[in-house]
Amino acid sequence: MALPTYSTMKHHLLPAATYSRLVPRATYHDTATIDEPTIKPQNRSRSAVNIPASLSNLLHLNLNHHTNPTGTHAGSSNNAMLDVQNFNRQTPTYSPTEDISSMYSEIHGAADWSRLLSPLHPWLRREILKYGEFAQATYDAFDSNPFSQYGGSCMYGRHRLFEKLGLLRHGYDVTKYLYAMSHVDLPRWLERSLHAEAWSRDSNWMGYVAVSGDEESRRIGCRDIVVSWRGTVVPAEWLEDIQGKLESIESNDQSDIRVEHGFRSIYTSKAETTRYNKLSASEQVMGEIKRLVKFYQEKGEKVSITITGHSLGGALALLNAYEAASALPSVPVRVISFGAPRVGNEAFADRLKELGVKVLRMVVKQDVVPKMPGILFNEGMKMVEKVTGTLDWVYTHVGVELGLNVKTSPYLKNCIDFAGFHNLEIYLHLVDGYVSSKSGFRCEAKRDVALINKASGMLREEIGIPPCWHQPANRGLVCNPYGRWTMPNRELEDIPSPYREGYEQLLN
Amino acid sequence: MALPTYSTMKHHLLPAATYSRLVPRATYHDTATIDEPTIKPQNRSRSAVNIPASLSNLLHLNLNHHTNPTGTHAGSSNNAMLDVQNFNRQTPTYSPTEDISSMYSEIHGAADWSRLLSPLHPWLRREILKYGEFAQATYDAFDSNPFSQYGGSCMYGRHRLFEKLGLLRHGYDVTKYLYAMSHVDLPRWLERSLHAEAWSRDSNWMGYVAVSGDEESRRIGCRDIVVSWRGTVVPAEWLEDIQGKLESIESNDQSDIRVEHGFRSIYTSKAETTRYNKLSASEQVMGEIKRLVKFYQEKGEKVSITITGHSLGGALALLNAYEAASALPSVPVRVISFGAPRVGNEAFADRLKELGVKVLRMVVKQDVVPKMPGILFNEGMKMVEKVTGTLDWVYTHVGVELGLNVKTSPYLKNCIDFAGFHNLEIYLHLVDGYVSSKSGFRCEAKRDVALINKASGMLREEIGIPPCWHQPANRGLVCNPYGRWTMPNRELEDIPSPYREGYEQLLN
């Protein structure tokens, strides 16, 4: 029978005017162009077969005379063909990565990326996408099936996470999984398994720690320790629920530093009675970071820490960065976040600056989450501030913002979709096409546009990719030898184990 | 990210009282019991591991003292264990099928199944399920993906349809696919491909003709020609739209016989300009039936025609039966329908009776579709009838009804779900458990209960099967050699071809 999502969908042909935006052009040419594959004639003709007629007509229609709304110029028929190639996805999805060690400190944000953001330097773009894919991995590997015995855990053991997700090419190894719980009742945060013998009743898989291998370390100029934090599924609504409950960052803290209590609860909660949170997420991640830093510094290596996350994950990244920079003053700490909400007050922001934490925030203009918490809340407080002259109770953003805009992408629907605007794959798509706030979507963009619809319906229908396509066959059910459909047991390798994960620190 | 269906679901623990219905008992024992597998101790213990605790507790709790609402008695611990086995799906899903040729004419309905329905004879039950699975095949193999170039067609070529769906065991061969269109604008009927090069813009795959092989023919006592008609996805709403538009069954027909014009339109529409409906569904199916009857009668074989369908498919089955019985008076014609709406008036019903068409209608008490069209309409007309004394304009059901009731099944949720009540898999599940209108669900039922949730959420959550689980991996997208996600081309074998199908009759 038809899947509900399909039956509720309509195919609307767009007016010719809007089509004119479908041929992206860029005035800026980065090194990615050099490795553009030469398009063989037979490729051309073969690939021409499968593209939607409306689109190909358009492409040939608009070749020599049009300017798209972003102000970049219509290009040659070559560019048009290149675009057809993209729609047909007959090109590689990424360019070879250059040795960027010469620009190590700049790319790490030493100068707050001042010379690299406008236009966006291709080397930095690739690093942002790398960390964005580490963040996306926490969604792609998360078992959100409440009928699974392991619902709320990672579907794969940490030794094959990157292999399963096709991320081995980044040259990192996962060294630890992170689990979190919360003592504060946070609506729609925890994914619970309905299974009678659920792997855990209290905790969720919340991310992982990974470290760059020798080759990648050489390429980027340091041993890079990455922490990737998972976000939530319904952050916008969720963030409304936690509007403006600021509290001191540490119970015994005498400073003015305040952070959102829900984020802090997830980062710091623990309970002896649980299997995966006898240690808090904070204790788990700090234990592992310290272990790795010690290990590599003793080998005389240059070590850096990069903490990434999307949405709630971006908020946890900031709390984590604050703690890491405080505990390890000798190690540069950087946060690469996507669609992250505000976390703390002015004092929190100032302290992070003092600690030398570098923060690069990707923010989609149409995404409401980065405006949370405190859209309304802050307004009220600004009044108070005028009187009291203090900002203790107002949320503030930290670091450098890279502003993205869904309107620049010719691949995206012209629609209002708040979940879509916040989707991490949209962020990665827009970073991939970003050149500068002035110019349009670059046609050398490499990422597969089909990924946009992985968990959204933002991709234009002409491109022919179903919405929300990222799903297991038969919701993970398989037919057993008796001819009956059952939820299969996981391979031992992929079954979460408190002994492999939660207790490691206690054992060290 | 969490699949929407999951995130919107809640797990409600049922009060102990309702649990008491979870151990099905039957006073009636059919031959199916003889092939019940002996449960080995180690099986018991192993399988006990995976069942929801609530359920196993219940089973042990209620072993020796409870009566379930259906009035059948609580059985021995053996029965309980057997039930645990079922929940763990460690038993075969079907019993060996006996030689039923001795009862050929009775099972074919010669005596309107008078002696076989109460209690339901196991041989007849198995035949009903066989034809029900032929009807279910039209849903399971239907490509309802609008992004597929072949949306609205069958996913598999006719030579491997049964192989792909695991129906080879029935011993039938598909000889022809049927395609339909409609000149009447029927909302939400046609599934259209959004693809620029769609296989067809006007037609949908509407079913198939199959014939029993030598072995199966021997077993059932005749060469059985089966026609299986596909239903619609949203029949209830759809049927409201076509409320009571009766018209003469043939344009030149002078009789009082009237049938619903939407059904008739789908069955009879054709257009020279189309690729798959230069012949109407009626012409396609009658041509094939006549060809097969001629072929096997010339070999001196006993031939029968069984027409099956669910929902709209059941309606088309009646129109088809009317035409087949009129054209082939020498061949017994039988209709096995599931949740079918009314099709025509009293005169239509009388004529079918005269023609000797035998109709067995499976009707779930809670399903509204069999009450359509004309829930309201008929009431109005009954008044008219009192005046005019004619029933020309009132819909009437045909044949023998087998009444099913969702409340008898201990595996189903206690909820209001009109789509669920109409779901064909629910029908098959209830037939599998049916003994008589008086007794409860038989514990010898063999079908995998997981199938209930294939396209519904009717199965109790304790059993741990996700709702609507029947879905392809990644909505059919696959990662191509370039690392990009694309809708793959079909194997040639599975691509619909007007030359293979639509034109056959013209060529003969």
Mean pLDDT (whole number) for A72-86: 35
- Assembly ipTM: 0.77
Interface test with B, best of A429, A485, A487 (most B CBs within 10 A): A485
Mean pLDDT (whole number) for B46-56: 30
User: How crowded is the C-beta side of B470, counted as CA atoms within 13 Å?
Assistant: 22
User: Pick from A7, A139, A469: which is nearest to B477 by CB?
Assistant: A469
Decide if A473 and B473 are in contact by the 8 Å CB cutoff: yes
Chain A: residue nearest B166 by CA?
A483
Highest mean pLDDT among A121-130, A176-185, B436-445: A121-130
User: Pick from A146, A197, A482: which is nearest to B89 by CB?
Assistant: A482
User: Pick from B1, B470, B476: which is nearest to A233 by CB?
Assistant: B1
pLDDT tens digits for range B384-431: 555 445 555 677 788 999 999 999 999 999 988 888 999 999 999 999
Which phi-psi region, left, alpha or beta, contains residue B392 (left: φ > 0; alpha: ψ -120 to 50)?
A: alpha
Instruction: For chain B, state the CA radius of gyration.
Output: 23
> Cα A194–A480–B489 angle (5° rounding)?
95
**Chain A nearest CA to B467, separation (Å):** 9
pLDDT tens digits for range B111-149: 999 999 989 999 999 999 999 999 999 999 999 888 888
Q: Is B311 a catalytic residue?
A: yes
Kindly tell me if the per-residue pLDDT of B47 is higher than 80: no
**Chain A nearest CA to B21, separation (Å):** 20
pLDDT tens digits for range A114-155: 999 989 999 999 999 999 999 999 999 999 888 888 999 999
Q: Is B367 a catalytic residue?
A: yes
- Strand-pair partners of B362: B338, B402
Kindly tell me if the per-residue pLDDT of A213 is higher than 80: yes
pLDDT tens digits for range A27-60: 333 333 333 333 333 333 333 223 333 332 322 2
Taking Cα atoms as reference points, which of B376, B399, B256, B375 lies closest to residue B314? Answer: B399
Q: Is B248 a catalytic residue?
A: no
Contact (CB, 8 A) for B186 and B262: yes
pLDDT tens digits for range A351-410: 999 999 999 999 999 998 888 775 444 544 555 555 455 555 677 788 999 999 999 999
| Bridge-based pairing state of the strands B246-248 and B395-396 | unpaired
| A412 vs A498, more confident | A412
Kindly tell me if the per-residue pLDDT of B235 is higher than 70: no
pLDDT tens digits for range A333-353: 999 999 998 888 888 999 999
Decide if A485 and B6 are in contact by the 8 Å CB cutoff: no
Which listed residue (B30, B367, B432, B494) is catalytic?
B367
User: Pick from A52, A147, A473: which is nearest to B465 by CB?
Assistant: A147
Q: Which residues of A47-79 are buried (b: 16+ CB within 10 A; e: fewer)?
A: beebbbebbbebbeebbeeeebebebebbeeeb
**Chain A nearest CA to B69, separation (Å):** 26
Taking Cα atoms as reference points, which of A265, A282, A272 lies closest to residue A179? Answer: A282
Kindly tell me if the per-residue pLDDT of B457 is higher than 80: yes
User: How many beta-carbon pairs under 8 angstroms link A with B?
Assistant: 170
pLDDT tens digits for range A419-439: 899 999 999 999 999 999 998
What's the token pair of residue A268? 């710091």
Kindly tell me if the per-residue pLDDT of A167 is higher than 90: yes
Chain A: residue nearest B152 by CA?
A2
Decide if A2 and B450 are in contact by the 8 Å CB cutoff: no
**Please, what sign has the CA dihedral across residues A129, A135, A136, A137?**
positive
Kindly tell me if the per-residue pLDDT of B310 is higher than 60: yes
Chain A: residue nearest B1 by CA?
A139
Decide if A233 and B471 are in contact by the 8 Å CB cutoff: no
Q: Which residues of A touch B55 (CB under 8 A)?
A: 196
> Cα B433–A197–A148 angle (5° rounding)?
70
Kindly tell me if the per-residue pLDDT of B158 is higher than 80: yes
User: Pick from A146, A197, A473: which is nearest to B11 by CB?
Assistant: A146
Mean pLDDT (whole number) for B442-459: 92
Decide if B483 and A93 are in contact by the 8 Å CB cutoff: yes
Q: Per mean pLDDT, which range of B16-20, B137-141, B319-323, B464-468 is the poorest?
A: B16-20
**Chain A nearest CA to B398, separation (Å):** 27
Q: What percent of chain A has pLDDT over 70?
A: 73
- Strand-pair partners of A403: A363
Task: Give residue B150's pLDDT band: very low, low, confident or very high (50, 70, 90).
Answer: very high
What SS3 class is residue B377? helix
Contact (CB, 8 A) for B172 and B159: no
Taking Cα atoms as reference points, which of B170, B27, B32, B128 lies closest to residue B401? Answer: B128
Write down the mean pLDDT value for chain B: 78
Decide if B51 and A144 are in contact by the 8 Å CB cutoff: no
Which listed residue (B182, B217, B311, B409) is catalytic?
B311
Q: Per mean pLDDT, which range of A97-101, A220-224, A324-328 is the poorest?
A: A97-101
CA separation for the pair A294, A331 (Å, rounded) = 11
Kindly tell me if the per-residue pLDDT of B180 is higher than 50: yes
pLDDT for the residue A146: 86
CA separation for the pair B329, B245 (Å, rounded) = 29
Decide if A464 and B90 are in contact by the 8 Å CB cutoff: no
Taking Cα atoms as reference points, which of B165, B142, B167, B172 lies closest to residue B154? Answer: B142
Q: How far is CA B195 from the centre of its chain?
A: 29
**Chain B nearest CA to A109, separation (Å):** 30
